[in-house]
């Protein structure tokens, strides 16, 4: 069972690469599902096939699905939203404002990932290929399960206890309806599902393929994305440089070829040791299964696009003579962009404005951060046991 997610800046060829990879997989005998979490229906257009909300066979062994994010949203969030609405309205807020407040940012895409999870867990497929929405959306959505988890795990138990204790009192006194058990259950189910989504996306058999075109602006964004993906615990296993111009004698084309050559060299250096596959700029749009399979064969050449990559540890904790070292993979991160804070039992790591809250393993909770350095594409954080702050074994009571 393998999961491949295709992401990158808008318009670089994510949908084309995802569809092409899926067609190739089916040709090679893998039972494949390709689905899109993007509300735009371009996956169907690319495959020249009318995709519906349920997996439908497009060519032998290849099923296509256009996730109906809206109905998933109603399914998972509707009940909770309904409660929030009534609670907010009871406080005197008008309906429109209340509705605004209960809309989860990026929720549709996140909930589309629930469908990905269901399909992966169904055991029906050898390969699930996901055509993601453009960069910014995807990143936000990849971060959301963890952010939600953090908020819910901190707030939820407290709220639940308060609600139970106060239900008989509060309900009457303030006139604010309290959430009933089904609402609480729905919130808990959503929470658990999102954690499961995260588990699926971070599994060693799940890889992200970064699609880019060899242009400076696109490459710069892809570099930042590589860092952010590692920050969130997602493994990138290859880069696809698409729309590479073939050599030619036309002076306009020669200019582009030279500029792209420079960018491709930079891509090779930046993303090493990841393989960089190249897709030529074709004379026509690669649309339809037979055109796509040719595109995929050219991209992957003689490599195996479905092999599970050698595992890389994104997060490691090891003992050192002075305590522990925790290291987090952060390829291409710049020192000035990295920020680290300890908040209770959590470590908050920010890189270029993106944040990840990591629960510290129990051994590290009784330690302090003694320093951190970026080295070999990893952030290495030194932890020392709290006692070490007071020399001569005096402990916390000198
Ligand atoms: N190598 C190529 N040669 C020629 N045309 C290409 C190539 N790759 C993609 N295209 C065409 O470029 C357009 C954009 O590609 P595609 O839809 O795959 O990009 P995308 O990254 O999914 O875009 P979006 O961000 O809007 O989802 C399509 O019309 C596609 O057929
Ligand atoms: Mg697309």
Report the b/e string of 239-278 with b at 16+ CB within 10 A: bbbbbbbeeeeeeeeeebbeebeebbeebeebbeebbbbb
- Identify which of 15, 48, 278 to mutate to test ligand 1's pocket (most ligand atoms within 8 A of the CB): 15
User: Whose atoms come closest to the Cα of 7: which ligand?
Assistant: 1
9 CA: nearest ligand 1 atom: 25
Mutate to test the pocket of ligand 1, among 16, 135, 284 (most ligand atoms within 8 A of CB): 16
Which residues form ligand 1's pocket by a CB distance below 6 Å? 10-16, 38, 42, 134, 242-243, 279, 281-282, 285-287
Given a cut of 70, is residue 183 above it in pLDDT?
yes
Q: Tokens standing for 318?
A: 């090891």
Is the pLDDT at 204 greater than 80? The verdict is yes
End-to-end, the C-alpha distance of the chain in Å comes to 57
Q: Which atom of ligand 1 is nearest to the CA of 286?
A: 31
Q: What is the three-class DSSP state of 27?
A: helix
DSSP string, 105-166: TTHHHHHHHHHHHHHHHTT--SEEEEEPPPHHHHHHHHHHHHHHHHHHHHHHHHHHHHHHHH
Lowest-confidence segment of 68-72, 119-123, 214-218 by average pLDDT: 68-72
Measuring from atom 10 of ligand 1, which residue has the nearest CA?
Answer: 285
Ligand 1 atom, smallest distance to 16 CA: 18
pLDDT in tens, 310-332: 877 788 888 999 899 999 989 88
Positive or negative, the Cα torsion across 324, 327, 333, 337?
negative
Contact criterion met (CB below 8 Å) for 18 and 128: no
Q: Residue 20: nearest ligand to its CA? A: 1
The two structure tokens encoding residue 21:
């990879």
Omega into 273 within 30° of 0, i.e. cis? yes
Q: Whose alpha carbon is nearest atom 30 of ligand 1?
A: 285
d(CA 108, CA 138): 11
Q: What angle do CA 161, 165, 171 make, to 5 degrees?
A: 115
Choose the residue to mutate in 6, 8, 13, 246 for probing ligand 1, maximizing ligand atoms within 8 Å of C-beta: 13
Name the residue with the closest Cα to ligand 1, atom 19. Answer: 13
pLDDT digits (tens, 9 = 90+) for 98-140: 777 666 666 677 778 889 999 999 999 999 999 987 765 666 6
The 8 Å CB, 24+ separation contacts for 185-191 are 186/76, 186/79, 186/80, 187/80, 187/152, 187/156, 188/156, 189/76, 190/76, 190/77, 190/80, 191/148, 191/149, 191/152, 191/156
**Ligand nearest to the backbone CA of 66:** 2
**Could you say which ligand is closest to the alpha carbon of residue 135?**
1
Most confident of 32-41, 83-92, 281-290: 281-290
* Span from the CA of 14 to the centroid of ligand 1 (angstroms): 7
Asked if 63 and 55 count as a contact pair (C-beta separation under 8 A), the reply is yes
Q: 44 or 145, which is more confident?
A: 44
Nearest ligand 1 atom to the CA of 211 is: 21
Q: Which two tokens stand for residue 322?
A: 């002075």
Residues 47-59: what's their mean pLDDT?
Answer: 94
Indicate whether 156 pLDDT > 80. Answer: no
Q: Of 38 and 172, which is predicted with more confidence?
A: 38
258 vs 363, residue with greater confidence: 258
Q: Name the closest-CA residue to atom 5, ligand 1.
A: 285
Name the pTM for this structure: 0.83
pLDDT band at 344 (very low <50, low <70, confident <90, very high): confident
Per-residue pLDDT at 167: 55
The secondary structure of 227-261, three-state, reads HHHHHCCCCEEEEEEEEECCCCCCHHHHHHHHHHH
Measured in degrees and rounded to the nearest 5, phi and psi for residue 4 equal -120, 125
Say if CB 68 and CB 35 are below 8 A apart. no
């Amino acid at each position: 069972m393998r999961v491949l997610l295709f992401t990158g800046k808008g318009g670089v060829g994510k949908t084309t690469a995802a569809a092409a990879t899926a067609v190739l997989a089916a040709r090679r005998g893998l039972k494949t599902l390709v689905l899109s979490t993007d509300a735009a229906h371009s996956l169907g257009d690319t495959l020249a096939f009318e995709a519906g909300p349920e997996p439908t066979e497009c060519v032998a062994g290849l099923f296509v699905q256009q996730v109906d994010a809206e109905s998933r949203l109603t399914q998972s969030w509707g009940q909770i939203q309904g409660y929030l609405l009534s609670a907010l309205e009871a406080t005197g807020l008008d309906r429109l404002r209340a509705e605004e407040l209960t809309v989860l940012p990026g929720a549709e895409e996140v909930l589309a990932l629930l469908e990905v999870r269901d399909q992966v867990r169904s055991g029906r497929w050898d390969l699930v290929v996901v055509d993601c929405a453009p960069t910014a959306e995807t990143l936000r959505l990849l971060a959301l399960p963890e952010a939600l988890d953090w908020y819910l795990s901190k707030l939820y138990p407290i709220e639940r206890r308060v609600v139970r204790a106060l239900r008989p009192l509060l309900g009457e006194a303030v006139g604010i309806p309290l959430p009933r058990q089904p609402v609480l259950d729905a919130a808990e189910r959503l929470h658990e599902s999102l954690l499961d989504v995260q588990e699926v996306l971070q599994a060693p058999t799940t890889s992200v393929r970064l699609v880019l075109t060899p242009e400076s602006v696109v490459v710069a964004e892809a570099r930042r994305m590589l860092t952010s993906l590692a920050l969130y615990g997602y493994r990138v296993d290859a880069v696809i440089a698409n729309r590479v111009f073939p050599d030619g004698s036309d002076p306009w084309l020669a200019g582009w070829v030279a500029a792209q050559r420079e960018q491709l060299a930079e891509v090779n250096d930046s993303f090493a040791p990841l393989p960089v596959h190249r897709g030529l700029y074709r004379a026509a749009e690669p649309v339809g299964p037979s055109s796509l399979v040719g595109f995929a064969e050219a991209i992957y050449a003689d490599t195996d696009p479905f092999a599970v990559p050698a595992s890389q540890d994104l997060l490691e904790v090891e003992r050192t003579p002075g305590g522990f070292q925790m290291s987090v993979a952060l390829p291409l991160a710049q020192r000035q962009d990295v920020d680290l804070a300890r908040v209770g039992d959590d470590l908050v790591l920010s890189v270029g404005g993106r944040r990840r809250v990591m629960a510290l393993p129990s051994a590290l909770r009784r330690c302090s951060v003694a320093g951190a350095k970026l080295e070999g594409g990893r952030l290495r954080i030194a932890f020392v046991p709290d006692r070490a702050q007071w020399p001569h074994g005096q402990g916390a009571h000198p």
